[in-house]
Amino acid sequence: MNLFPDLEPSRSGFTLIPATKVIESPYNLVEEIWEEPGDKWHITLNFAFLTKAEGRLLRSHLIALRGQSGMTFIEDAAHENAGSWSGVPVVDGNGQYGISLNVRGFAASQLVAKAGDRFQLGNRLHELTEDVNSNGSGMATLYFQPEIITPTSDAAPLVHNRPRVRAMLKDAKSIPSFSATKSGFRNVQLQFVEALR
């Protein structure tokens, strides 16, 4: 796993862009909505100041990505889950996909996660759209976005502590110049988009 360097950005923005398209009839102006399973996270990271060592680490990581051919796993440093996520949740059943997921391994009979909490399953980052209550056996159904597009494997772990998303540079030419002063690098902004390949 090629992790993004453990550097704290001054601002971290994660936005989920839905893969929907509106087609409006030119005759009666009635709209038709096309909804496809390609929702993606768009990520902006801003670093107001980086020391020389931090800047060198970040620059070498970006260069190693070789434009959009490389991928990195990025955490949203501005996000924190509000639920307890007590227990060890895993996928309950093979072949699940869509915007809901049956899981097991939570602590029994309690509110274990809250709407807005995030988890990583495989290479993807998902955000809950509803609170999650476990039953007496520690099982629950999660509702979230974006949808699962690769069928699940039974017992696959749900990463809720520092979940990440696999991403690539949004623009291969967007690596900043890393203009430096004697003390370090200022105002470095990076943009990424989730990689679904």
pLDDT tens-digit readout, 139-182 = 999 999 999 999 999 999 999 999 999 999 999 887 877 777 77
> Are residues 23 and 50 located together in one domain of the fold?
yes
- CATH number, domain of 188, equals 3.30.200
pLDDT for 107: 97
25 shares a domain with 43: yes
Tell me the per-residue pLDDT of 123-142, one tens digit each, with 9 for 90 and over: 999 999 999 999 999 999 99
Is residue 5 situated within a structural domain?
Answer: no
User: Does 1 reside within a domain?
Assistant: no
Residue 82 resides in a domain? no
Q: What average pLDDT does the segment 67-93 reach? A: 97
For residues 54 and 108, membership in a common domain is answered with: no
CA angle 92, 96, 102 (to 5 degrees): 35
What the block records as the tokens of 141 is 């159904």
Contact 165, 72 (CB under 8 A): no
Residue 92: the pLDDT is 98
Q: What is the tally of structural domains in the chain?
A: 2
- CA R_g for the chain: 19
Indicate the residue type of 197: R
For the segment 81-102, the average pLDDT, to the nearest whole number, is 97
Regarding whether 100 and 65 lie in a shared domain, the answer is no
* Residue range of the domain that includes 188: 11-77+166-194
Using the predicted structure, report yes or no on whether residue 3 has a pLDDT greater than 80. yes
- The tokens for 132 are 């999650």
- Does the residue 2 lie in any domain? no
Locate 162 and state its tokens. 């520092």
CA–CA distances in Å: residue 55 to residues 11, 30, 106, 164: 16, 52, 41, 22
pLDDT of residue 176: 79
Average pLDDT taken over every residue of the chain? 94
Do residue 15 and residue 68 come from a single domain? yes
